[in-house]
Structure 1
Amino acid sequence: MLRPIRALAAAAAALALVCACNSASGGSLPGKPGDAAATRGVSAGSIKVGGIVSMTSASGYSKKDTDLGARARYLRANAEGGINGRTIDYIGAEDDGQDPGKNLAAARKLVQQDKVFAVAPMSSVTFSGADFLEQEKVPTFGWGTLPSFCGPQYIYGFNGCLVPSPGGTLNQTWPEGIGQVLGGAKGKSVAIIANDSDAGKFGIRTFRQGFAGAGFEVAYAKASVPATAVPSDWSAYVKDILASDGGEAPDAVVSVMQTPNNIGLFTALKRAGYRGLLSDPTDYDPALLAKDTTRQALDGVHVLLQFEPFESANPRMDQFKADIKAASGGREVPLNMHMLTGYMSADLFVSIALKAGKDLTVAHFQNAARSFSDTGTLVGDRAEPKGQKESFGCGALVRLKDGAYEVSVPFKCYEPVPFK
């Protein structure tokens, strides 16, 4: 039985135990130590990489553009000569359907059948394949919103660890940004709501501390919304939230959920007369504006970004846009945060692999990662292994107003606070 990466919470530990099973292969195939030709997924001319992405889900929510973002970064890397002379053979992403069993199955397929060197990107609300990938010594990169991105040796969050263990730190972009919009956190209250899932529970745990650390009164914090289906009736949730601040409505409502849930919740809150600030971390997607009902539901919502907004004018964002266009066959496509997730997951992998040198083995890759750092990226300054214990601490807020996004709090790096 695989050993859980660590017991951060009963739900995560139970999930790891249910999904665990025996495996004995490592990161290298038989051959001389340090020989790149004996390393899984590495040949004289290529490096094989795959991904795990929630392309589909029961709610209809999709992260499929994460795959496009990764592909765009790999295409540019190959156009620039690859990684120390090797072409990146990106075989695409497996769809886990946001299902724990499928997530583990996808990890096993990529390693045991496809023989990948690395998994980049991994983007889902579940990561039951984490223990397997860690044991198999597979460098894995994704959005660090799950505890499995915090602590393991071989798993990396593209913007660091966002769900730290006690002794780590919290990214304060969201509470500090909302505090700026409200004119300060002192005397202000916030309600935080999430899905009843691993990601939701850990989100409540971290953001409760983060908002309190910024000076907010946390009036409500529950991971109570079913993760498998969007509620058809939000009245019970709305009633609780609107009376959470001593019988009054809180100054802000923060949803740690995906778009279908946010549309339902925010629509219900607005119909009930709520006039406070609404915020979530997922609804930065121009494609959402095509439907009038969706646009109305999300109008005025402040969305947390942990990267430079697309509206930013700088060379790094220009390069990202050019790469996405190239990967889309030269077509202009609406940008979304899933593309950036895939792109920056791939970018961190590429950056470390370049530093590892021509003799690419897992050991050499890990040695390069242990002293890796760079500055001025789309997620701020990066450093490993710091990023496996805490976030890089940067972000922004954008607001949907009159059918278009605008920056409400510019991209900035904030001093983290201790996680207890």
Structure 2
Amino acid sequence: MRTIRLVAAAATALAVIASAVGCSSDGTPQDGPTVAADTVKAGPPSGWSDGGYTVDAASLKCGQTASNPTRGVTDTEITIGGLAYLTSASGSSMAGTELGAQARFDRANAEGGVNGRKINYVGTLDDGNDPARNSAQAKALVDKNIFAAVPVMTSSANYLDTFCGETVPFFGWGFNLGFCQTSIGFGITGCQFPEGDVTSTTYGLMIQAMFGGDATGKTTALVGVDNDSARAGLKQLGEQIRSVGVKTVYEENPIPVAGITDTTAVVNALMTSNNGAPPDVVLYVADFNSVIKMTAAMTAAGYEGKNLNPVGYDPRLAGFKDLQKSYTIVQWQPGADTSVPAIKQLTEDFAKYAPDQAISLPAMAGYWAADMFIQAATKVGPELTVDKLLKVLNSDYSYYVEGAVPETRWPLNHNISAPCASIVQLNGDKYDITSKLSCGSLIKK
């Protein structure tokens, strides 16, 4: 049971990501922006279309210069610390993200550091998934005189008041609002909470990939959690799916925040949602345990379509009975694909510097967040300051790891995520990659 609770860590994060991204007030799916379905193809992880959407760096919050721009920097080292929920009352956590970051920093140091400076990694503080503690731990990191916060993997963004006030750049997985519309937060796949007149084709593209690239005539049901952010999120995902011409036949939020217990009513609604028949795909945007219960209940009800979720990928789940044949959407290339040179390097780094850590989604996110910081700080050059780092990052900077992490562009991705993902399916004791990391495009509404 411990394994499943640890895996729920990534599950919770991904549910937050997906739930934060339409329906009318009566639950009826709305059309939203559309493009010609035959023009939406799986493109490479870089060079995706921004659809004409732009972001002015001057419009972002926290744009002031640092009062102490050389904070945490000496001639020989750069002090870095992280913030994550490594424990929580529910048992789910981002445990492993700190070891992923440590592995990447250790390799950088072994290779001579960043422009001759070694990374002095003071560790990642645990906020316990408690908003009040989140704020307190951010202040504790500032007291440690950190130059930047890496990784940041929290559900609360209470840290932002401190990081903004002290101009602390931070890098992580952008599944809290602190990564959005601020000039100092850098998510490895961008901000997961888009605002304004933009959406993307990402989920539509992934639905297409599940059907070999052609989902003409297919239908999708979306099942979410019963809170305001999740309702807004389901609306965004519905728009993404309909944007490529795939019909959504159910788009509701019947799952309690605390998780679902009785699945009967939801299963009955889903099994008849497509004019009395079940849909071709059911997308569950919920916590890990609810996804498991819903998937098992639909299978028991005789559902023969495709189950899709954003929470089911983790090496520790290999062989897990209740998610067999399920598909999972992942925002970067899964760690199982060592044919990609960068993934092979990551695997070797974990084996050398974090040999007991599974290459889970939180661990990978910590590793890539550290890599993003290292690349940006290296580009600044020997005269490293907070202000110079932020100027580089917010001046048409691009982060991309070929075949592994999709391209992000800054300042654009302060306001939206990269329109990219991959799809895996759990078959027996292994994950098969249904669709390698690929990208769609942004769409202006």
Please report the TM-score for the alignment, with normalisation by the length of structure 2: 0.78
Larger mean Cα displacement after TM superposition, 249-258 or 179-188: 179-188
Residue correspondences, number:
380
Structure 2: how far apart are the matches of 1:230 and 1:389? 30
Question: How far is the alpha carbon of 1:321 from its aligned partner?
Answer: 0.4
Q: Is the Cα contact below 8 Å between 2:308 and 2:327 reproduced in 1?
A: yes
Structure 1 residue 231, shift from structure 2 partner = 3.0
**d(CA) in 2 for partners of 1:204 and 1:132?**
31
Q: What is the SS of the residue equivalent to 1:159?
A: coil
Contact kept, 8 Å, 1:134 with 1:153, in 2: the verdict is: no
* Closer, same or farther: CA 125–211 of 1 in aligned 2, 3 Å: farther
The answer (yes or no) to whether the contact 1:59–1:260 under 8 Å persists in 2 is no
1:140 aligns with 2:170: yes
Q: Tell me the distance in 2 between the aligned counterparts of 1:108 and 1:199.
A: 27
C-alpha distance 122-383 of structure 1, shift in aligned 2 (>3 A): same
Q: Which amino acid aligns with 1:303?
A: T
CA distance, structure 1, for counterparts of residue 192 and residue 426 of structure 2: 25
Corresponding residue SS for 1:177: helix
Give 1:91's aligned residue. Answer: 122
Look up the SS of the partner of 1:342 in the other structure: helix
Deviations 1:2-55 (A, max 9, x none): xxxxxx99xxxxxxxxxxxxxxx98434xxxx6x2xx2x223322222222222
Of residues 185-194 and 335-344 in structure 1, the stretch that sits farther from structure 2 once superposed is 185-194
Structure 1 residue 404, shift from structure 2 partner: 0.9
Change (3 A) 1:400 1:28: same
Show the counterpart of 1:151: 181
2:67 to 12, 28, 32: 28
CA contact (8 A) 2:164 2:184 kept: yes
User: Residues 248 and 147 of structure 1: is their aligned pair in 2 closer, same or farther, counting only changes over 3 Å?
Assistant: farther
Say whether 1:81 aligns with 2:112.
yes
Give me the whole-angstrom Cα distance separating, in 2, the residues matched to 1:201 and 1:324: 38
Could you tell me which amino acid in structure 1 is paired with residue 94 of structure 2? K
Q: Which structure 2 segments of 5+ residues have no match?
A: 1-19, 22-63
Aligned pairs for 1:398-413 (under 5 A) are 398-413=424-439
Distance 1:115 1:224, change over 3 A: farther
Structure 1 residues 394 and 388: alpha-carbon distance in aligned structure 2, compared to 1, 3 A threshold = same
Q: Tell me which amino acid in the other structure corresponds to 1:242.
A: M
Normalising to structure 1: TM-score of the pair?
0.82
Structure number with higher relative contact order (C-alpha < 8 Å, ≥ 6 residues apart): 2
- Aligned ranges 1:10-409 → 2 under 5 Å: 27-29=66-68, 36=70, 39=71, 41-111=72-142, 113-170=143-200, 172-182=201-211, 184-196=214-226, 200-227=230-257, 229-289=258-318, 295-312=320-337, 313-328=339-354, 331=355, 333-371=357-395, 372-377=397-402, 378-409=404-435
For 2:416 and 2:351, the matched residues in 1 are separated by: 32
Query: Which amino acid is 2:269 matched to?
Result: D
Contact kept in structure 2, 1:125 and 1:198, CA below 8 Å:
no
Find the aligned partners of 2:262 and 2:254 in 1 and give their Cα distance.
14
Deviation at 1:285, TM superposition (A): 0.7
Instruction: Report Cα offsets for 1:152-208 as digits up to 9, x if no partner.
Output: 1101111122321113342x3332122232353332222222334576345323212
For structure 1, which segment, 235-244 or 48-57, has the greater mean C-alpha deviation from structure 2 after superposition? 235-244
Aligned counterparts of 2:399 and 2:165: Cα–Cα separation in 1:
28
Aligned with 1:248: secondary structure? Answer: coil
Structure 1 segments unaligned to the other structure (5+ residues): 1-7, 10-24
SS of match in other structure, 2:297:
helix
The offset of 1:365, in angstroms, is 0.9
- 1:399 deviates by 0.4
Please give the secondary structure, in 1, of the residue aligned with 2:292: helix
The aligned residue for residue 4 of structure 1 is none
Distance 1:97 1:356, change over 3 A: same
Q: CA RMSD in A?
A: 2.5
SS at match of 1:233: coil
User: Could you tell me how far 1:218 is from its partner in structure 2?
Assistant: 2.1
